[in-house]
A and B are shown apart, each in its own frame.
Chain A
Amino acid sequence: MAYKRHVDRLPIIPADAKKHNVTCHYCIVGCGYHAYTWPANKQGGTEAASNVFGVDLSQQQAAETDAWYAPSMYNVVKQDGQDVHIVIKPDHECEVNSGLGSVRGARMGELRYSTTRNSQLQRLTDPMVWRYGQMQPTSWDDALDLVARVTAAVVKEQGEDGLFVSVFDHGGSAGGYENTWGTGKLYFGSMKVKNIRIHNRPAYNSEVHATRDMGVGELNNCYEDAELADTIVSVGNNPLETQTNYFLNHWVPNLRGTSMQKKQEQLPDEPHANGRIIFVDPRRTVSVNAAEAEAGKDNVMHLAINSGTDMVLFNAWLTEIADKGWMDKEFIEASTKDFDKALAANKTTLEQAAEITGLTVDQIRQSAAWIAEPKEGKRRRTMFAYEKGLIWGNDNYRTNAALVNVALGTGNVGREGGGCVRMGGHQEGYVRPSDAHVGRPAAYVDKLLIEGKGGVHHIWACDHYKTTLNAHQFNMVYKKRTDIVKDAMNAVPYGDREGMVKAITDAIKAGGLFSVDVDIIPSKIGAASHVWLPAAESGEMNLTSMNGERRMRLVERYMDPPGNAKPDCMIAAGLAQHMEKVLREMGDNAYADQFKGYDWRTEEDAFMDGYNKNAGGGEFVTYERLRAMGNNGFQEPATAFEDGKIVGTKRLYTDGKFGTKDGKATFMEALWRGLQAPGKEEQKKNNKYLINNGRANQVWQNAFLDQESEFVMDRWPYPFIEMSPDDMSELGVKNGDLVEVYNESGSTQAMVYPTPTARKGETFMLFGFPTGVQGNVINAGTNELILPNYKQTWANIRKISDAPEGVKHLSFKSQEYQAT
């Protein structure tokens, strides 16, 4: 049977419950929620006066009511040491989501740590160290002392290049401005660590380097632009599943025509129609299906290109739009440079593009018209949104540039109904000292680790085992290197600190690696680590982030972190303080002095030290002011504090000045060179199936919390692989069968999900899932800036077994909404 909670009533939120501002800490959209808490021995009642809604709850409530919450939004947690009820429900007044909760965010309550209701008991509650052959609890002082002594010894021996770091750079979750600053100050301020990488890629680099080089920051519009656009262009992007409430609350109204009044009011001097949408994606997603249901098939164009050929399509658009005379010449003249140069270099005919992309000439011509053909003499407003299909796809840098060229040429940056934006995964929350010393290209950290480089590895909320490329080889080598250290540690009594540090550093000299994992749970890579440091999540600490339209909010701490867990910024501070102490003991006072300046008592201190002093406009922003701005916050950068409010910036570049030295946006050459990453052509030649990959609606990130959600794991006990019925019959597999996906780089497993809309030979596998890691079959090749190409992966497939018991009850029906 499908999983059911058998919950038939919930405690009612009393009228005097505490109310906390919450921004969902999962995806980039950052929906507004409120966390209501009240004492364990109290409850509200159905009478209007006795519940927080002021509503008679003995009556059935209507659709979209504010006066209801699902069992997934409820829990019992600790607050200042006391058990309290908690409900985390969507905020109807938040402009981002208007009361909508996604299948991920609306489960925040259920996914809190609760010893009362036994949820998320996987959370780390104590620092843990490798002792007597397993991970054992210890004190913060003891754990940080061991980490600092080994780190200091390695740095003294090898220099700071011997310290390898994997660290989140995002907002939400365990990220946020507080924590990116804490870690950034440690590794880029006190030290100048070069061998550092980000949570989802093997180097410390931008995912969207081209657009930045062109002077166009990647989050340049606002969510309202999706309501105002004449046409939305969605590239490698599945917004219904991965930016759900942005799509539902801001794209759908345009497709459905309900934002018409807003268009007429804000843009009165031009004709308006319901929005059109173009999807560029080799796969038909549920987003395409939903857009068709809302806008009608005539207003939806799905350009199912050959995987990895996006750049050719964009260059053809540029050529065609210029040929037709639809470019925004005034804007090009006033605000950009190198247009003619790029146009000439990138020239691609419709026929050439059709040949490479697999589209028809008509499709390309028509889509160019939807983008740029003037509407009764007025410029068409087109919003360009791209995400991982482009970012983790073929030739990232040039492809990104080719798309921004089209947006700039048509005058669609800095204008209402425009924008050329990445959609985003996590929220953002980046403030760190300069990373200029890292260099360009940045170090390929995973490769260096595989090659035996580095002595100590600090990991902050990253799980390479699940979310890197060439994961199979990485995991094997990493285990081997860390086992050398474990074996050495096993030979020394734990209490002999000097002997222990010597055993570890000797093991490092013998090829070993000392691994320190800062995380909220024991991760997959953490299984190889020697120290775990328990971190707090958003809501267990005050935490600030911004969403995909640069909307910054403060999540107010509404519960205690599990046990002795701490915010990452405070862990970084503790580590810095221990480094200072150890280095002083070693007699290196000058180096020790670099680790001063971490006397923060709270995360707010870290925020003031970091964001307030270092972010653009940060001086206008404090916790108190953010608290008052509530779940609508303000859009960064802040420009003033007036009348008790932080003044923000709705859109960037509205003055036509861009982020280059001379203020002119730069068009860029983007020449097609086929499958760019080394090894891809060969892999394609040697293997039969495209293993396209990405996210699923129910699963947040690599399922680090969802792996303990019965609701999610009941639906996806194994990662699905969507497959055409033709491929299924050719392989002799049925619904739910387990298959091995394998190639020269490695192997993994997945569960067959029949997908009639899938093209023959083109599968799609859930990425980053704990019970089958797609990264195992992605080869090591990257682009010139060490950006991985996860999407263009080819492998062979063979059956492992019939559907196991835990799979037999699953639905294998089409995921596309069927209007009757």
Chain B
Amino acid sequence: MERCSKLVDIGRRQFLRGSAFAAAGVATAVSLPTQAKAASALALVEYPSNKLANVSDLKPNEPFDVGYPDDDAPGVLLKLGTRVQGGAGPDGDIVGFSTVCPHKGFPLTYNADDHSFNCPGHYSRFDADAGGQQIWGQSTANLPQYALRIDDKGDIYAEGVDELLYGRLSNVL
């Protein structure tokens, strides 16, 4: 939670200062396994299968900072407490989302009260309970969500993203 708040604070300060905020600059250091290199000749982008956390790392309704498909792409894992669309894990309540607004790239803040991601740039809102659907806003896409796989040990792997991430013309750079 502390890491997440920090990410949010840095983003907000940068934003309020009016300077262009580099998403790359605020991704927190997350220890990740070495990524698979995408094969450029394939029709689809080859996503790495990255272990982002273990189920035991997640506390109910507290965002857990991750980077996926790489450290320059901040996101969060959430254990929402109720079964949701696209939810993984035994309770179907674990989801992962990019936290960069698909409209102009500002960092989203998570509102635990109503499970929404909010953008301080232009007031867009996305619903963590509804597959990242934009509740209201300027983004022309709903919020990119991770395809998650959870193994027998409770390790959570991300293995794909369902929308183009802001600031990159290929999800895997």
Write the residues of chain A forming the contact surface with B, with a CB cutoff of 8 angstroms: 1-10, 12, 46, 57-65, 68-73, 100-103, 106-107, 110, 240, 244, 248, 258, 286, 289-290, 293, 697, 711, 714-715, 809-811, 813-820
Contact = CB atoms under 8 A, between A and B. Distances in A.
Contacts, number: 184
Contact of A9 (B45, B124, B134): B45
Nearest to A3: B142
A293 B167 CA distance: 26
B41 interface: no
A70 B140 contact: yes
B6 to A, nearest CB: 14
A62 B21 CA distance: 6
A715 B20 contact: no
Nearest to B85: A1
A286 B23 CA distance: 27
Given A106-B140, A715-B133, A9 B171 contact: yes
Contact of B20 (A64, A244, A816): A64
B56 to A, nearest CB: 26
B114 A59 contact: no
A62 B137 contact: no
B92 interface: no
Nearest to A241: B136
Contacts of A818: 111, 113-114, 116, 118, 125
A106 B164 CA distance: 15
Contacts of B155: none
Return the 3 tightest CB-CB contacts between A and B, nearest first. Answer: A63-B105, A2-B133, A72-B140
Nearest to A72: B140
A680 B100 CA distance: 48
A70 B144 CA distance: 12
B164 A817 contact: no
A811 B127 contact: yes
Given A70-B141, A289-B123, A65 B163 contact: no
A817 B134 contact: no
B64 interface: no
A101 B100 CA distance: 17
A8 B113 contact: no
A248 B141 CA distance: 19
A286 B118 CA distance: 14
A552 B125 CA distance: 34
Query: Residue among B25, B100, B170 with the most chain A CB within 10 A?
Result: B170
Contact of B72 (A60, A69, A810): A60
A173 to B, nearest CB: 19
Contacts of B110: 820
B71 to A, nearest CB: 9
Given A711-B142, A811-B127, 8 more contacts: A4-B162, A5-B164, A62-B25, A71-B141, A110-B140, A286-B123, A711-B140, A811-B129
B123 A290 contact: yes
Nearest to A102: B138
Contact of B73 (A60, A715, A810): A60
A773 to B, nearest CB: 23
Interface residues of B, number: 66
Contacts of A811: 127, 129-130, 133, 135
Contact of A63 (B20, B116, B125, B130): B20
Nearest to B25: A62
Contacts of B134: 715
Given A60-B23, A62-B23, A8 B171 contact: yes
B102 interface: yes
Nearest to B22: A62
B137 A697 contact: yes
A256 B35 CA distance: 42
Contacts of A714: 133
Contacts of B129: 811
A810 B72 CA distance: 30
A387 to B, nearest CB: 19
Nearest to A58: B173
5 contacts: A60-B72, A62-B167, A63-B166, A100-B138, A817-B118
B153 interface: no
Contacts of B163: 4-7, 71
B150 to A, nearest CB: 18
Contacts of B171: 8-9
B24 interface: yes
B168 A68 contact: yes
A476 B160 CA distance: 51
A815 B138 contact: no
Contacts of B164: 5, 7-10, 70-71
Nearest to A12: B169
B68 interface: no
Contact of A59 (B21, B105, B120, B173): B173
B89 interface: no
